Structure 1
Amino acid sequence: MSRPREFDYDKVLHQLMLTFWEKGYKGTSLADLVAVSNLKKQSLYGAYGDKHALFIKALRLYRMQAMTSIQELLNQEPSALRTLELWKINLLEPSDDTCPKGCFIVNMALELGTEDAEASVEIDALFKDSEKLLEEVIIRGQQAGEITSHFPASLIAKNLATTQHGIRVLNKTSSSQEEIRAILDYSIDSIRAVPR
């Protein structure tokens, strides 16, 4: 019979995720993971697997948390345009200032490219899921006459999602909030329905 864990699995995994987020996959050492988890190497590997398996678990945790937050954000308002204003504010003023800069998934996409097949699955899933949620907002806006129907909702959503990922990169650079706000304002203004 195995001994019960003497630590909070999810809480430790969250701390490990933050370490990968801050240092990157390649920049995170086993010593870093042992230090942040307060576990011995054997216990760490026993609970989460090796460094790569742990990393994939951290990516998956982030994806689930991010999608829950995005879904909650995009379902607060019936108006698509008001929803996109909330989306803009969230990108300009991230609600959690305890996290490292940028988006963990976008950071890992930039670091790893397509060289890690398992990580690519998590990265692609977050990109596709966020596009799908934005597409639902766009469809709602097109049906209400708030958003242009000159382009398919899927294309508009892909464009907004690409802008979102780009903003996450800009947030890590010296780009000013004014520049980022102007990009987001343009992204929203350019899809407004033209009054007849």
Structure 2
Amino acid sequence: MARPREFDESTAVEKAMHAFWERGYEGTSTQDLCEATGLGRSSVYNTFTSKKTLFRRSLEHYTTRELGKRKAILDGPGTAAERLAEVLDTAVEADLEDRRRGCLVVNTLAELGLPDDEVGAALRSDTRQNLAMFAECAREGVLDGSLRDGPSPADVAEFLLSTISGLRVMARRGTGRDAMHTVADLALAAIVAR
């Protein structure tokens, strides 16, 4: 009879996420994961089967959390332009608060590219969901008159996601708050109705 697990798997994933976020996939050793989670090597492998599986689970945990925050803003009150301004402002402030680590998704894309495996599938899923939310908000913005009609919602979504990714890179290289807010304001000015 197998011994019952004496740890919370979701807590272990959360702690592993922070280790990967701090050091990247390649830079995080199994020993780092053991120290971060408080699990022994055999528990890590018996539960998650591999470092890559634990990384994918950590990445999915991160993206679920971040998508939830973004969705709450985009589904919230105000015009589409106001909601997008809040998303951009939130991105700047979050990146400045955690500039040393940046964004786990952007960091992973920079480190690994878009691998043809479960990690790549998690990254593609995150991109699809972000693009869908931004495109829907862009459609709403044309209808409520706060965003200009012209660019397709899909193009606006790509533009916004690229802008946020760029802001995250700016934060990691040490760019100041004012410069980052200026970039966010310029991005918003490119799509708002005049």
Is TM > 0.5 for Structure 1 vs Structure 2? yes
| Pairwise CA RMSD | 1.9
Could you tell me which runs of 5 or more consecutive residues in structure 2 were left unpaired when the two chains were aligned: none
Partner of 2:6: 6
2:162 aligned with 1:162, yes or no? yes
Contact preservation (8 Å) 1:80, 1:137: yes
TM-score of the two chains, using structure 2 as the length reference: 0.93
Contact preservation (8 Å) 1:142, 1:148: yes
Give identity over the alignment, percent: 26
| Higher share of residues assigned helix | 2
Question: After the TM superposition, which of the residue ranges 88-97 and 167-176 deviates more from structure 2?
Answer: 88-97
Partner of 1:150: 150
| Cα shift readout 1:15-68 (whole Å, capped 9, x = no counterpart) | 001100100000001110111111111111111111111111111111211111
Structure 2 CA distance for aligned equivalents of residues 115 and 27 of structure 1 = 17
2:121 aligned with 1:129, yes or no? no
Structure 2 CA distance for aligned equivalents of residues 100 and 171 of structure 1 = 8
| Cα shift readout 1:152-187 (whole Å, capped 9, x = no counterpart) | 111111101110111111111121211111111011
Give, in angstroms, the shift of residue 3 of structure 1.
2.7
Mapping of residues 1-196 of structure 1, within 5 Å = 1-94=1-94, 97=97, 101-115=101-115, 117-194=117-194
| Cα shift readout 1:99-130 (whole Å, capped 9, x = no counterpart) | 96311011000001134532221112111211
Structure 2 CA distance for aligned equivalents of residues 143 and 12 of structure 1 = 44
Determine helix, strand or coil for the equivalent of 1:94.
helix
TM-score of the two chains, using structure 1 as the length reference: 0.92
Q: Provide closer, same or farther for how the CA distance between residues 172 and 95 of structure 1 changes in structure 2, counting only shifts above 3 A.
A: closer
Give the total of aligned pairs: 194
Residue type of the partner of 1:186? L
Question: After the TM superposition, which of the residue ranges 176-185 and 95-104 deviates more from structure 2?
Answer: 95-104
Structure 1 CA distance for aligned equivalents of residues 117 and 142 of structure 2 = 37
Could you tell me which runs of 5 or more consecutive residues in structure 1 were left unpaired when the two chains were aligned: none
Structure 1 CA distance for aligned equivalents of residues 99 and 50 of structure 2 = 24
